[in-house]
Structure formats: structure tokens, C-alpha cells
Amino acid sequence: MDWLIWIGAVMTLIGLCTIVWSAVQVGRARKQGLTDEEMRARVSAMLPVNMGGLMTAVMGLMCVILGVSLG
């Protein structure tokens, strides 16, 4: 089950990179001094990306745990 562990590790890494990227994008938006409505629009646009990254990381960790348990 080594392949399941490696696939899970890659999925987790992709998810974490996505979460960091979305946090950086929101941080850049904060530094731009946008109005409240523009800031809400930016954060609302990044929310699905953040949730997708979180779900990918969770699924990857589940694959790693499953691979370790079965292997």
C-alpha cells in the first residue's frame, strides 16, 4: 500500500499549497486598501478555493492513514 501513502502525501501537499495561496491572495487584497464591498468580493471569490484546498488536504491525509493501516 505504499502507492496509497504517496498519493495521499501528494494530495495533502497540493491542498496545503492551495490553502497558503488563497491566504496570500487575501493578504494582498488587505494591503491594497480596498473598500468593504470590494474586499468582501475578493474574500468570497477565494472561499471556494480555500475550501477545495482543505478538502483535498483532508482526503490526502485520509489516504495516508488508510495506506499505513492496510500496509
Whole-number pLDDT of residue 71 = 85
Whole-number pLDDT of residue 33 = 87
Residue-wise pLDDT for 32-66, tens only, equals 988 999 999 999 999 999 999 999 999 999 999 99
Sequence spans of domains, the chain: 2-70
Average pLDDT of 25-38? 93
34 to each of 22, 26, 41, 58, 70, how far by Cα in Å? 17, 11, 10, 33, 50
- Predicted TM-score (pTM) of the model is 0.88
Average pLDDT of 2-17? 97
Question: How much is the mean pLDDT over the chain?
Answer: 96
Which residues fall within 8 angstroms of residue 43, CB to CB, at 6 or more apart? 26, 29
